[in-house]
Structure 1
Amino acid sequence: MVLEDIVSTNQRSKIVEYDDCIFLALKMMFLIQFEIVLAKTKGRIRGLGSDYLLYALIDSVVTHYYAIIETMGNKIEDLEDHLFEGLTKDEISSEIQSLKREVLKVRLAIFPLREIINPINKSESRLINEKKLHYFSDVYDHIVQMSDTTDIYREMIWGLMDMYITTISNRMNEVMKVLTIIATIFIPITFISGIYGVNFDNIPELHYKYSYQMLLTVMLIIFLSMLYYFKRKKWL
């Protein structure tokens, strides 16, 4: 059974105690896995024993997880800065989705580690020295901290997605506001030009020499007056 677990590359992180050995399967991020068979042999471990070697290997995996989590934290901060600056490129949306998948992978890899360290701390196997259990307790604390951090990052990523959608909506609202103001300004101008564009002979000022210049002046005054009004209302 141990040999079958060793050759299985899709093995879930786990721990199994046998009479003469302890088997562990751990995942090293990303997509790397190694298995440990802890047996009572005469290997040279520089006097610290095979149980300390087990701790050192697990601690190495956990330390590598820290580096990955720190990298994800930096990515989240960069995306937050971009969104606060108002950048709404399509690449940001894909980066958020990719980061969300990465956090989920790390979270799924970290969660089983608790199930591994807990049995070691409670193990009565002669292969684990009681004096070295505090090493595994320290690793367990690190795992809990990483698990909490990934949960926080997960919530932050959802917040980034909401922020991205809000930014897109705000920019769309700004565009719609400008278009509405432009349409509003041209309503009275279009109305005036529509009246003087009809084919009637008896229209006041139609045959006056300066009617065209007067009409343009009135339209310009209306345009400037409405701009002033909109800015005073802080709509622009």
Structure 2
Amino acid sequence: MRKIKYKKGRKVQASVLEYTGSHKDTPTEIQLFVYDAEDVTEFHQLQESDIQHSIDFSKVNWLNIHGLNEPNIIAKVGETFGADNFIIGDILNTTKRTRLEEYHNILFFNVKSLLPIENSDNINYEQISFILKDTILLSFQEKRSDFFKHIRERIRTNSGVVRTKKADFLLYLLLDAIIENFYITIESEEDRVDEIINLSKTSTKPEVLELIEKHRDNFNFLKRSIIPLRDSLYSIKSMKDDDVFNDIQAENYSFFSRLHQKCLELLEQIESDLITLDSASNYFFSAQNHKMNEVMKSLTVVSMFFLPLTFIVGVYGMNFKYFPELEWENGYFIIWGVMILVVVFMFVYFKMKKWF
């Protein structure tokens, strides 16, 4: 799993534009949707030099960039809409923490989108950045993915109210799709946790504890990803109160409040899942201790059977010349009988006491 290292991430100077992610073979592609309530126009494989000619400021413009491996193209696109090198650097540096920043007349938002890896205990993440300015929304993705496929279809088919809303509502839809990925990831993790809990009830192998710790790390990873997103969404409320940033319409702030509530729900669910994992871990250790106690009890019972026998053998193993029992004709069999009776008596006594 690629962890988000907020403090120990690779250090890149602000003046140096360098992509720090792992999708270095992904070419940069530009896609543009221009739409309003009446029609929609799509541009594919758009060149950065043609962006300004394709933008229609009287409509909503969604400029989506796949692939960050060509920093020069990203910088030119950003400069076209007033984003300085600090913002471009944050788009390219995938080790940055999720944050929201209002800068002059643009709103910058970068977030981590998480999804489970199929047939694996790991979680995959991708950094997605947004720039909102007037009627234009820019989104930057590390690679081509299906996160926003349903939103594109809604725009094409004029489904819902997306075509009647402005770019801020489109930002809400994109963020909502990213948060839905968190739900999918948590649901996948919970399914695996259920399997581990069932396994912990039937097995005390160390591999079970390793799986518990692995998924505890996954939930903590999710938590570290959601907390800054929750804080960023809460910050949008202050923009409404300050009445400074006007590109988010007043009636749409409630949609972002819903996203904030979803983040709170996700965090509550993660806390519940972490408690469940703690219970599974405690159960595992309790099962191990119980198994060890059973083994020690069995060994103790066996040793108690042999303790009086060892005493009898020790007595008759002493090298004294005069032993009265040496003259007995059936002494050997008598001693054997005594030892068997002692063992039978102890066995019955232990059973009555329910010691095993």
TM-score by length of 2: 0.61
1:12 Cα offset (Å) = 0.7
Q: Is the aligned partner of 1:136 residue 2:256?
A: yes
Q: Counterpart of 2:194 in structure 1: which amino acid?
A: E
Distance 2:166 2:134 in 1: 9
Post-superposition CA distance 1:125-179 (Å, at most 9, x none)? 2211222222212211111011112122223323333322222222222211111
Distance 1:216 1:71 in 2: 65
Q: Is the aligned partner of 1:205 residue 2:321?
A: no
Q: Is the aligned partner of 1:3 residue 2:93?
A: no
The match for 1:78 is 195
Structure 1: where are the runs of 5+ without partners?
none
Q: Counterpart of 1:80 in structure 2: which amino acid?
A: I
Q: Counterpart of 2:100 in structure 1: which amino acid?
A: I
Distance 2:188 2:351 in 1: 45
Range moving further from structure 2, 52-61 or 211-220: 211-220
The match for 1:98 is 214
Please, which of 173, 181, 184 is the counterpart of residue 64 of structure 1?
181
SS in 2 for 1:217: helix
Post-superposition CA distance 1:168-227 (Å, at most 9, x none)? 222222211111111111111111111222233432332433322222222122112111
Distance 1:232 1:75 in 2: 44
Q: Aligned ranges for residues 146-185 of structure 1 at < 5 Å?
A: 146-185=266-305
Distance 1:226 1:71 in 2: 54
SS in 2 for 1:46: helix
User: Structure 2 vs 1, CA of residues 21 and 42 (structure 1 numbering), >3 Å: closer, same or farther?
Assistant: closer
Please, which of 215, 228, 233 is the counterpart of residue 335 of structure 2?
215
User: Structure 2 vs 1, CA of residues 53 and 148 (structure 1 numbering), >3 Å: closer, same or farther?
Assistant: same
1:63 Cα offset (Å) = 0.8
Distance 1:42 1:151 in 2: 38
SS in 2 for 1:57: helix
Q: Is the aligned partner of 1:20 residue 2:109?
A: no
CA contact (8 A) 2:201 2:284 kept: no
Post-superposition CA distance 1:73-118 (Å, at most 9, x none)? 2333333333334x21010111121112111111110101111111
Which 4+ residue blocks in structure 1 deviate beyond 4 angstroms? Answer: 42-45
Range moving further from structure 2, 21-30 or 113-122: 113-122
The match for 2:128 is 34
Q: Counterpart of 1:148 in structure 2: which amino acid?
A: E
Distance 1:136 1:41 in 2: 18
CA contact (8 A) 2:110 2:128 kept: yes
TM-score by length of 1: 0.90
User: Aligned residues, how many?
Assistant: 235
The match for 1:118 is 234
Larger RCO, structure (CA 8 Å, separation 6 or more):
1
User: Structure 2 vs 1, CA of residues 116 and 42 (structure 1 numbering), >3 Å: closer, same or farther?
Assistant: closer
Q: Counterpart of 2:347 in structure 1: which amino acid?
A: L
Distance 1:71 1:230 in 2: 50
Q: Counterpart of 1:127 in structure 2: which amino acid?
A: D
Structure 2: where are the runs of 5+ without partners?
1-85, 115-123, 138-154, 156-161
More helix, by proportion: 1
User: Structure 2 vs 1, CA of residues 101 and 42 (structure 1 numbering), >3 Å: closer, same or farther?
Assistant: closer
Distance 1:50 1:216 in 2: 96
